[in-house]
Structure 1
Amino acid sequence: MQTIVFIGSNKSGTSREALFVSTNMGYYTVLLTNRKSFIRQRKEFSEVQQMIYVEDLLDKNIVLSIIQELQQKNKQIEAVISFIDPFVALAAELSQQLGIVQLSTKALSLIENKSLVRKHITELPVSPKHIIYHIDKPIDEALQQLENSFPLVLKSPVSNGSKDVLPVNSVAELMKGLQYLKKRIPNDVILIEEYLDGPQYLIEVMVVNGEISIIAVIEQEILNGARFIVTGYNYPALLNIDESEKLETAVFKIIRHLQLTNGTCHLEMRNVRGEWKLIEINPRMSGGAMNRIIEEGTGINLVKETIKLFLGLKPNLKKTVMNYVYAKYITIHSLGKLIKITGKNRALKHDEVKMVYVKPRKGAILRKPQSMGDRYAYVIAVADSAEKAKKTANKAAAEIKFYLEPL
């Protein structure tokens, strides 16, 4: 039986969509998960034919032994895939070891670590000022290197979804942020970077045999005063010819410098006074609603084409439509226990709204946003202009109300 093994998944978003796509493509779909809640909720994963709990998904030997057991039970492993950090490089390594497909395992592993990426692209003009701070060293020298140029940004080298990414505006905030991250990070280094001021964009990329394809460039809107929480996605980004050409040149240089020749990634970049700077790069396509945004805007199901890449098949990246798409994410401004949510059906009734998704269930504890995981709903609208798509999505999103019991 032709089988695809997925290492890890979230409850929703790109990684969950991949499970549905795999099954719809006719494959026996196996999910290895380290989430006990998924095992308890097994009936909710109807698209998964087999779910296996693995406490440590990064233990290559354990994962390999499970795959070998599947093979012994007449499962023909056609692909090993992950759409979430930090399992992307592991999946690529196992794919190579099993003789399925040759992916850029070294590059994908490198991209999973933000401090290693900074080391490798320091010489490129896209790299911001930064230092890799060892937590057992005095902070004074680091501050001198950065010339006390607040604001700064602190990052865990293995953060994703804006988790453990802290803006700091003074020495006091810096010290507090360092103490916070020291308790949370699994290694002994913290990235300290200059704050880059300018509009931010997400760039989805696929590389096949060294040929780099920019699938989509999407402008991001970031919530004021939060930890870089993106609440709006605008496709296509409205760039002039010069901005677009400079962006393409910068992206190509980064990809080639990191020696990514087979794989996918997404970059987040800011246009700082006409120059492109890299915020971060991740070795997978973006999560959340990204696949639906791209499919509505271009006709490309990027999840499906990524799976084809891991299967050793040729992806089809031809754009068949050209639409303006806006995705509005909803956050809340207080802490509380969810009593009920209203307005989803009203939001769906708005013309040009294509999708409304609400994540939390009754009884969930909701809070002010501290990471991308604290976005609790989104609305996707498609129109014949960027302005109309945004207006429609915002209007529909305003219909959704969260009722909380204060804590």
Structure 2
Amino acid sequence: MQTIVFIGSNKSGTSKEALITSTEMGYFTVLLTDRKKFMRQRNEFPEVQQMMFVENLFEKDKILSIIKDLELDGKQIRAVISFIDPFVSYAGKISEELGLVQLSVDALSIIEDKSRFRTNLKGLPVSPHFTVLQSDESIHKFIEEFDGYFPLVLKSPVSNGSKDVLPVHTIYELSEGLQFLNKKFPNKAILMEEYLIGPQYLIEVMVVNGEIFIIAVIEQEILNGHRFIITGYIYPALLSMEEYEELENAVFSIIRKLELINGTCHLEMRNVNGQWKLIEINPRMSGGAMNRIVQEGTGINLVKETIKLFLGIEPNLEKSVMKYVYAKYLIVDSKGKLIKVTGKGRALKHNGVKEVFVKPKKGAVLRKPQSMGDRYAYVIAVSDTAESAKHAAVTAANEIRFYLEPL
């Protein structure tokens, strides 16, 4: 039986869609997870034929032993895949050892670490000013060196989803931020970058045998006053031909410098006074509702085409649809235990609305956003114009109410 092994998954978003898609494609789908609660919630993964708990997913000998047992049981392993950090390049390495499709493991590994890709891309016009504080360097020296260069951004090189990304505007905030990250990530480096101001865009990319395909360019709307939390996505981004060509050149320069030959990634870039600057790059397609956004706007099921790439099957990246898509994410403004959510049915009745998704269940503790994981619902709407797609999504989203018991 032809089998795909997935290393790690979330309960929703593109990694969960990958499990569903694998089964729909006719593969025996195996999920290796380090989350014990997933084993208790096994019924929430009906698309997974076999789920196994592995305490340390980075214990490669254990993973290879499991795969050997699957093969002895008659399973033909066609791919080992991960759609979540930090297992993307790791899954690629295991694939290499098994003689499966070879991805650009070294490039994916560099992309997984923010300080490594910053260093690798240093000198390109897309790179902002940055420095890396190693764990054995003096925080006080660092603070003195950057006095007068505010605002700045502090990051953990291994974080994702806007977690542990701290804007700093004063010496006091810089000192507090460095101490916070040092405590949370002991003996780890800290990345400091210039604060870039300008509209922000997400770019989905697939590279097949060295040929670079820009699948979608999506404008992001950032929640004011919060730590880079995205609450709106507009596809396609409204760029002039000149802006798009310059963006394309910037993306190509990044991919070639990283020597990514086979694989996927998504980039976040800002247009700073007419010059494109790289905010982030991750070695996988974006999570959340991204696959639905891309599919509604282009006709491409990017999750499915990514799986095909990992299987050694030529992906079909031809766009069959040209629609405007707007995704509106919802947050809460106070901490509390969820009593109920209302309005989903009413939201779905609005013209143009294609999907309404509510993540938390009754009893979950919700909070004001500190990372992208603190977005609790989204509405996706489609139309022939950007304005009408946004109006439909925002109007429908206003129907949804979270009722919380204060904590």
RMSD of Structure 2 on Structure 1 (CA): 1.0
For residues 306 and 273 of structure 1, what CA distance do their matches in structure 2 show?
34
1:323 Cα offset (Å): 0.3
For residues 241 and 145 of structure 1, what CA distance do their matches in structure 2 show?
41
Q: How does 1:176-187 map to 2 (within 5 A)?
A: 176-185=176-185, 187=187
Greater alpha carbon shift after TM alignment, 362-371 vs 94-103: 94-103
2:246 aligns with 246
Superposed CA deviations along residues 157-206 of structure 1, whole A, max 9, x for unmatched, are: 01110011111110101111111111222642000111000000000000
1:148 Cα offset (Å): 2.6
2:353 aligns with 353
1:364 aligns with 364
Which amino acid in the other structure matches residue 110 of structure 2?
L
SS at match of 2:4: strand
SS at match of 1:158: coil
2:85 aligns with 85
Superposed CA deviations along residues 88-142 of structure 1, whole A, max 9, x for unmatched, are: 0011111111111111000011110000001101110111011001233223543
Which amino acid in the other structure matches residue 20 of structure 1?
I
1:206 aligns with 206
For residues 290 and 306 of structure 1, what CA distance do their matches in structure 2 show?
13
For residues 68 and 177 of structure 1, what CA distance do their matches in structure 2 show?
46
For residues 354 and 22 of structure 1, what CA distance do their matches in structure 2 show?
23
1:165 aligns with 165
Matched, 1:111 2:111: yes
SS at match of 1:329: strand
For residues 241 and 138 of structure 1, what CA distance do their matches in structure 2 show?
47
Matched, 1:102 2:97: no
Q: How does 1:25-44 map to 2 (within 5 A)?
A: 25-44=25-44
Is the 2:30–2:48 contact (alpha carbons within 8 Å) kept by the matching residues of 1?
Answer: yes
Q: Give the TM-score, by structure 1 length.
A: 0.99
Distance 1:354 1:187, change over 3 A: farther
Count of aligned pairs between the two proteins: 407
Is the 2:143–2:175 contact (alpha carbons within 8 Å) kept by the matching residues of 1?
Answer: no
Greater alpha carbon shift after TM alignment, 22-31 vs 138-147: 138-147
1:146 Cα offset (Å): 4.2
The gaps in structure 2 that reach 5 residues or longer are: none
For residues 145 and 195 of structure 1, what CA distance do their matches in structure 2 show?
16
For residues 343 and 333 of structure 1, what CA distance do their matches in structure 2 show?
18
Matched, 1:300 2:333: no
Q: How does 1:369-380 map to 2 (within 5 A)?
A: 369-380=369-380
SS at match of 1:90: helix
Matched, 1:287 2:309: no
Distance 1:243 1:143, change over 3 A: farther
Greater alpha carbon shift after TM alignment, 88-97 vs 147-156: 147-156
Which amino acid in the other structure matches residue 193 of structure 2?
E
Matched, 1:325 2:325: yes
2:230 aligns with 230
Which amino acid in the other structure matches residue 384 of structure 1?
D
2:188 aligns with 188
1:242 Cα offset (Å): 1.2
Is the 2:112–2:158 contact (alpha carbons within 8 Å) kept by the matching residues of 1?
Answer: yes
Which amino acid in the other structure matches residue 255 of structure 1?
I
1:153 aligns with 153
Q: Hey, which bits of structure 1, 4+ residues long, moved more than 4 A?
A: 143-147
Is the 1:130–1:146 contact (alpha carbons within 8 Å) kept by the matching residues of 2?
Answer: no
Q: How does 1:32-71 map to 2 (within 5 A)?
A: 32-71=32-71
2:10 aligns with 10
Which amino acid in the other structure matches residue 13 of structure 1?
G
For residues 144 and 252 of structure 1, what CA distance do their matches in structure 2 show?
37
For residues 338 and 388 of structure 1, what CA distance do their matches in structure 2 show?
32
1:63 Cα offset (Å): 1.1
For residues 116 and 253 of structure 1, what CA distance do their matches in structure 2 show?
17
1:134 aligns with 134
For residues 222 and 264 of structure 1, what CA distance do their matches in structure 2 show?
24
SS at match of 1:332: coil
SS at match of 2:387: helix
Is the 1:131–1:142 contact (alpha carbons within 8 Å) kept by the matching residues of 2?
Answer: no
Superposed CA deviations along residues 245-302 of structure 1, whole A, max 9, x for unmatched, are: 1100000000000000000000000000000000010000000000000000000000
For residues 173 and 186 of structure 2, what CA distance do their matches in structure 1 show?
21
The gaps in structure 1 that reach 5 residues or longer are: none
Greater alpha carbon shift after TM alignment, 106-115 vs 137-146: 137-146
SS at match of 1:100: coil
SS at match of 1:79: strand
1:315 aligns with 315
For residues 185 and 208 of structure 1, what CA distance do their matches in structure 2 show?
36
